[in-house]
């Protein structure tokens, strides 16, 4: 590494590595330094070396929820690939399923369903690795991982130590956590899930309920297949043949607003003749005094249509929440499209959409 500290000889750190191939968007520049870490000790030693040498550090998992800057990252990117999962304890009502951070999350969900363990089935098909799930508090179709996470094993860069954080210390909220609010401090090594045994599947979401209406049975496997089918219809399952495949899935989070703010949005929709009554605007309970609005509904009714294209990027032909890279584009193009969608929603409804994906490098 020209002009920088000597690379540690015991770690296979590479120089000048393109990051786009490690992301589902297939966008972004190069990492000055890059490490594929397949064991916890390598992650620990790489983190300590970077911190001691003052080298900027970024952590990459499955690359399914990240935007990499076109200029890349002028530091060390650690791609966490620690594998392994096992049921560590089991009692009459629950089992503890422990997974290393580098396990594909859908493989974990599939394993849980096969073992008759509930709590994850409605998150079937979500791409990415287990280590990212507590950071984003990943969720879908009425479930989120905060409901079943027992603890998270982390490297704490602030204290140069490794320890386990119980779920009560993770600060989980809608698509949020302590890990997300303290960016760069923690590196997730493993997650322990406490999953119910012998219980029925989760059928809270109306789309899942409709999909199961004609089903002969409602067990975990049936719900998993129904969710996978729903996600395929929206191009939300990784498929190399899908023209919408280069995306991060949902690019924006569903806005959480006060009840008064939700009422104002509904009134605005009525004023614009977008609904026949204010009750037609979808809204859901979002916690004490809060309401969750549908980002997809707001985007569509702000005049952004499926299949919209701006240069080499666009909106998915199957779901307005997914922004798609068609090939040959740039992160700057994608973020310009995201800003356009945000402006349309803000100008129409006075609601600010928050992007969901993390960013590596200086994205503008």
* Catalytically annotated residues: 175, 250, 356
Give the separation between CA 284 and CA 179, rounded to whole angstroms: 26
CA 214-218-222 angle, to 5 degrees, is 85
C-alpha radius of gyration, the chain, whole number: 21
Cα–Cα distances in angstroms (integers) from residue 259 to residues 103, 142, 266, 323, in the given order: 39, 21, 11, 29
Per the DSSP assignment, residues forming a β-bridge with 73 are 31
Give the separation between CA 156 and CA 153, rounded to whole angstroms: 10
Cα–Cα distances in angstroms (integers) from residue 147 to residues 101, 118, 341, in the given order: 18, 11, 31
- Range list of β-strands (E), 207-267: 256-258
Give the separation between CA 273 and CA 9, rounded to whole angstroms: 66
Sequence-distant (6+) residues with CB within 8 A of 343 are none
For residues 85 and 100, the answer to whether their CB atoms sit within 8 Å is yes
For residues 119 and 193, the answer to whether their CB atoms sit within 8 Å is yes
Sequence-distant (6+) residues with CB within 8 A of 100 are 40, 82, 83, 84, 85, 130, 131, 189, 190
Strand ordering across the sheet containing 313-315: 309-310, 313-315, 323-325
Residue 181, SS3?
helix
For residues 193 and 96, the answer to whether their CB atoms sit within 8 Å is yes
Give me the count of residues in the chain: 364
Sequence-distant (6+) residues with CB within 8 A of 307 are 314, 315, 316, 317
């Amino acid at each position: 590494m020209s002009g920088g500290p000597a690379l540690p000889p015991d770690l296979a750190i590479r120089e000048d590595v393109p990051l786009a191939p490690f992301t589902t968007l297939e966008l972004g520049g190069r990492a000055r330094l890059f490490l594929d870490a397949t064991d916890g000790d390598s992650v620990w030693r790489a983190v300590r070396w970077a911190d001691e040498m003052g080298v900027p550090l970024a952590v990459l998992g499955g690359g399914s929820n990240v935007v990499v800057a076109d200029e890349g990252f002028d530091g060390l990117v650690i791609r966490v690939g620690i594998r392994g999962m096992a049921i560590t304890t089991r009692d009459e009502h629950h089992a503890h399923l422990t997974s290393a951070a580098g396990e594909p999350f859908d493989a974990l969900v599939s394993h849980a369903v096969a073992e008759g363990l509930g709590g994850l089935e409605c998150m079937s098909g979500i791409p990415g690795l287990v280590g990212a799930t507590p950071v984003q508090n990943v969720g879908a179709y009425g479930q989120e991982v905060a409901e079943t996470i027992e603890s998270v094993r982390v490297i704490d860069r602030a204290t140069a130590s490794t320890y386990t954080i119980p779920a009560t210390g993770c600060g989980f909220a809608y698509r949020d956590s302590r890990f997300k609010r303290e960016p760069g401090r923690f590196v997730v090594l493993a997650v322990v899930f406490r999953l119910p045994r012998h219980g029925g599947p989760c059928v809270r979401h109306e789309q899942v309920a409709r999909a199961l209406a004609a089903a002969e049975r409602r067990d975990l496997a049936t719900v998993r297949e129904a969710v996978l089918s729903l996600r395929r219809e929206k191009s939300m399952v990784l498929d190399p043949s899908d023209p919408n495949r280069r995306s991060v899935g949902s690019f924006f989070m569903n806005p959480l607003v006060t009840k008064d703010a939700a009422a104002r949005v509904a009134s605005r929709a009525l004023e614009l003749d977008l609904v026949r009554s204010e009750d037609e605007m979808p809204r859901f309970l979002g916690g004490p005094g809060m309401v969750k609005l549908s980002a997809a509904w707001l985007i569509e009714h702000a005049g952004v249509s499926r299949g919209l294209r701006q240069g080499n990027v666009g909106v998915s032909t199957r779901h307005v929440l997914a922004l798609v890279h068609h090939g040959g584009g740039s992160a700057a193009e994608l973020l310009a499209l995201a800003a356009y969608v945000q402006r349309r929603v803000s100008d129409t409804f006075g609601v600010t959409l928050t992007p969901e994906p993390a960013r590596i490098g200086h994205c503008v």
